[in-house]
Structures are given as structure tokens and as C-alpha cells.
Amino acid sequence: MIGAASLRGRKSLLFGATGAAVFLASVALGWNDRGSLPARAAPVATDPWVLPKAKHADAEADAAILRTRRPWGGNTAFRDTDGAPLATAASAASAQWRFVGTVMRDNENFALIEVAGQLKYVAAGNALPDNSTVTQIEQDSIVVQRPAGSSADSATYRLFHKNP
């Protein structure tokens, strides 16, 4: 037993001496290697955050997107048999405008119409060049109230449908 106690003390002393040697070697090697750490970069000065400017509506770009993507299919898309009758060929001769598409801006739907080569936004309730009034704007169509004395009271214009 007496020999076992001295053996345990020697192992502890050997373990402690080895730990101390490893510690002193790492301190010595680390002390001389101070310059190998990357230098801290200077903080980048940033501009203060500013609210972005509002994007202005571009009717030409909106119409071009609608023409190229054809989001509602072809001539057979979204036929509404219960709604107002489609605009007739008789009204086509007197039409001074063309329905190009619909646009949603600031939670409000607008009809995009072409008048003499110029694109214009029209909201529900606004008058059209032929004195008819837009009464309803949907995703793929508008309903137009004709002026008094017209052959039909109202007409529905649909995107990508043969409208007048």
C-alpha cells in the first residue's frame, strides 16, 4: 500500500508537469505569433436609411407586359354568360378608344385604355372619349355604361377577346 501511494503521487506529478510544459509552450509560441492575426477593418460609414421614392406608373410598360404574357389565355378565356352583353360590332365603328388591360395601383383597379396611340389609366366612374362611363373594373374585363340613346345600355370589354 505504501508503494501504491507513491506511484499515484508520481503519476499526478508527471501529469501536472506535462500539462505545465504544454501550457508554457503554447504561451511562448502564441506570444511570438501576434502579428499573424488579420487587422480589424475600420467600420464602414453607411448612409442613413432613407425611404425609397415612389415608383411612377408607366402605362406603356404595363400594356407591353399584358400583350406579351397573355395572362388570361386566348379568345375563350373567362366568358361570362350572366353578365352584360359583349360590345357589338356596331359600337366598334364609333369606338375612339381600345381596352388594353387592367392595373392595380394602391389597392385600386384601373382600366388601361389606348386613345389615339396614347395609353391612359381610367378609374371606375370616369368617362371615356366616346362619352360612355366605366362602371366596373375586374381583373380581365371592364363594364361600360353607354350614353343615353345608344343601342345597348352597357357593354363588357374583355382582355384578349375580339372587342370593338
Residue 71, amino acid: P
Give the pLDDT score at 40.
73
Q: Is the pLDDT of residue 93 over 50?
A: no
Nearest to 76 by CA among 162, 151, 164: 162
Q: What is the pLDDT of residues 132-142, one digit of tens each?
A: 899 999 888 89
Choose among 142, 20, 34: nearest CA to 80: 142
Whole-number average pLDDT of the chain: 75
**C-beta separation of 144 from 154 below 8 A:** yes
* 52 vs 70, higher pLDDT: 52
- Would the pLDDT of 77 be above 50? no
Q: Domain locations in the chain?
A: 2-30, 59-158
Q: Do 152 and 85 meet the contact criterion of CB atoms below 8 Å apart?
A: yes
| Residue 152's pLDDT band (cuts 50, 70, 90) | low
CATH topology of domain 59-158: SH3 type barrels. (2.30.30)
Question: What is the predicted pLDDT for the residue at 140?
Answer: 85
For 99, list phi and psi in degrees, rounded to 5. -75, 120
Residue 77 in contact with residue 160, Cβ under 8 Å? yes
pLDDT tens digits, residue range 47-63?
788 888 877 788 788 77
Mean pLDDT in residue range 29-50: 71
More confident residue, 116 or 70: 116
Best-predicted range by mean pLDDT among 40-44, 54-58, 126-130, 159-163? Answer: 126-130
For residue 17, the model assigns a pLDDT of: 92
Containing 122, the helix (H) or strand (E) segment is: strand 118-123
Report the sign of the C-alpha dihedral through residues 108, 111, 112, 117, in that order: negative
- Kindly report the backbone phi and psi dihedral angles of residue 102, in degrees, each rounded to the nearest multiple of 5, phi listed first: -125, 150
